[in-house]
Amino acid sequence: FGDDVGAASSGRFDSWALNTQRPRLLIALIILLDQFRRNMHRDTPEMYSQDAHCRTLVKRAIRSGVPKQLQPNEGVFLCLVLTHSEDLGDQMLCMELWREFTAQLRLDDPLNVFDEVFKRHVAVIQRFGRFPHRNEIMNRQSTREELEFLEDTTFRFDMPLKRDEATGQVRSRPRGRGSGQGLDIRSFVAG
């Protein structure tokens, strides 16, 4: 998909985001720009290079009423764009939009795992004003508090996640341990 990600990054597919008659084109574009790019350029500044563009597309879609045409398993990709932002306003918009989608979910729906994921992103931005795990990649100096936070592996955005089926709690899982049971959403929350 490298050529498609490149074309999307250059704006060749931006018309997809404007087609309110076919809102799933926006989801395809967001997946290329946000998810594929993050995984193709893992641990480099390039993984974040389309974040502002994605946020612009998502906010335009929200103003146009596109989320009302999407199912939660599609709309989660809009929310992921917002939760990747280091802006608290975007984080709160993510929570608001996700609440609209979760109103459609059964209590046992696996997508409910994102409730905790999005809340944790908000908490980190409220606490630090940025995502400390990006500091090294973005050549930013970490504070002592951020370094202590990064040592705590109970929740890391850059590690695979596992949902405890009994409690519904989301926990990070150090890399290298098999997928185990539960929902591995590492690629979805590549932050």
**Share above pLDDT 90 across residues of the chain, in percent, rounded to a whole number:** 72
Q: Is 49 contained in some domain?
A: yes
Q: Which of 75-79, 119-123, 170-174 has the lowest mean pLDDT?
A: 170-174
At 184, is the pLDDT very low, low, confident or very high (cuts 50, 70, 90)?
A: very low
Number of domains composing the chain: 1
What is the domain extent for residue 46? 2-152
Helix/strand/coil for 179:
coil
Mean pLDDT of 121-149: 96
Residue 131 within a domain: yes
3-state secondary structure 131-158: CHHHCCCCCCCCCHHHHHHHHCCCCCCC
State pTM to two decimals: 0.82
Kindly state whether residue 21 falls inside one of the protein's structural domains. Answer: yes
Residue 188 predicted with pLDDT over 50: no
Grade residue 178 by pLDDT with cuts at 50, 70 and 90: very low
Q: Averaged over 4-11, what is the pLDDT? A: 92
Residue 81 is assigned to a structural domain of this protein: yes
For position 128, which CATH number holds? 1.25.40.10
